[in-house]
Amino acid sequence: MKFGLGVNVNEPLQDVVKKSILAEVLGFDYLWVSDSPVQLYAPVVASAVASKTSHIRIGLGLVSTLLRTPNQITSSLIALSDAHGNRFDLCIGVGDLRQLSRVGVNAHTIQGLPLKVLEAKRRIASRLLDHGIRAKIWLGAQGPKMLGIAGNFDGVLLNYSNPEMIGWAINTARLRRKPKLTVGIYSPSYVHLKPDANLFRMAKVSSAVVALGTATPILKQFGLYQKIRKAQEMADASPTVEAILRMIPDEVIQAFSISMRSPNLHGYLAEVKRLGVSHVVFAYPQDYSLKTIRELARAL
C-alpha cells in the first residue's frame, strides 16, 4: 500500500514546500497538489515543491477537464517533467460541481460527461507518450457512470472513506477484474493521538464540503440524501459554516473523512486493503502543521 499527503495550496508557498520536504524525509510515497477554481494554480505549486525535493512522486489533481483543456493539462505536465524529471502523475475528472458553478460552469447541462473525460484522457496520454513522459493518469470518480470508464485509466481515486461505500464502488464498476488498475482513496483526514478541537472542526468542515458536493444518486444509495439535503439548501443560501455543520450528522462526516485516533488507523487500512485499495491520500487538515504530518507518519 502506498501513502500520499494532500497539500493545502491555499497556504503560503514556502509553508507548502517546507511540509513537502518533511513528507519526503518521513517516507511518504506521494504528494498530491489539488487544482480547483478557488485555489492557487496547481502546476506552480507542484514546480515549487519539486524544486526542493528529490524523489517523492507528485500528483497533480484532481484537474477538471471542464476547466482545463487537454492541451493545457498536457503542457503543464511536459513543462514540469522537463524541469524536474519524470516524477509527476495526474488525476482528471469532472470536479466538484458546486465549485464549478461558482465560476460559471454548470456541469448539469453538459451531456456525455464520462465520454468527454475519457476523450481528454486519451488525448493527454497520447501527447505525453510522444514526449516520452511516464505519468500515471488517474480518474477522480464517485458514481457508477464515471466509474464505468475507470478501466481505461491507470488508477481511480474515490473521495469517500467509508468501507461500505468503497466496496460498493469497487463491485459496481467491477474494479477487481482490472488487475492493472490501482484503486485509491483521497480523503480529508485527521489522524491523531489526542484530538485538538480546532483541527477536528477543520476536518468536519472539509468532509462536509465533500459530502455537499457528492452526487445525489450516491447519497440516496447509502441513505444519506435526506440527512444532508437541508444542509445543501442552507449552503446554497450562504449561511455560516457552523450552521451547515449543525445540519450534518456525524455519520455523514465520517463517511467522507479519515478522522480517528492513531491506534485505530492500521485496522482501518487493513479493512480497505482487503477491499482492494492500495493507495491512500491523507488530505487537509492532516497537513496543517509539521506536527500533524509527523503524527500521521508515526501512526503509519
- What residues does each domain of the chain span? 2-190+260-299
pLDDT single digits (tens) 69-109: 999 999 999 999 999 999 999 999 987 766 766 667 677 67
Structure confidence at residue 250 (pLDDT): 81
Q: Please tell me the predicted confidence (pLDDT) of residue 97.
A: 66
* Helices 13-25 + 290-299 axis angle, to 10: 20
pLDDT single digits (tens) 167-225: 999 998 888 888 789 999 999 999 999 999 999 989 988 888 888 888 788 888 888 88
141: pLDDT strictly greater than 80: yes
- What is the model's pLDDT at position 232? 74
Residue 186 · residue 277 · CB < 8 Å: no
Helix axes of 225-236 and 197-212: crossing angle, nearest 10 degrees:
90
Q: For 51-66, what is the mean pLDDT? A: 95
The pTM assigned to this predicted structure is: 0.93
pLDDT tens digits, 128-137: 999 999 899 9
Give the span between the Cα atoms of 69 and 74, in whole angstroms: 9
Task: State the cell numbers at 173.
Answer: 464498476
pLDDT of res. 215: 79
**Cα distance between residue 268 and residue 276, in whole Å:** 13
In the predicted structure, residue 162 carries a pLDDT above the cut 80? yes
Cα–Cα dist 81/75, whole Å:
10
Q: Is the pLDDT of residue 237 over 90?
A: no
**Mean pLDDT to the nearest integer, 254-278:** 96
**pLDDT attached to residue 100:** 66
Contact 5, 282 (CB under 8 A): yes
Q: Give the domain 2-190+260-299 fold.
A: TIM Barrel (3.20.20)
Give me the mean pLDDT over the 261-281 stretch.
97
- Sorting pLDDT into bands at 50, 70 and 90, what band is 244? confident
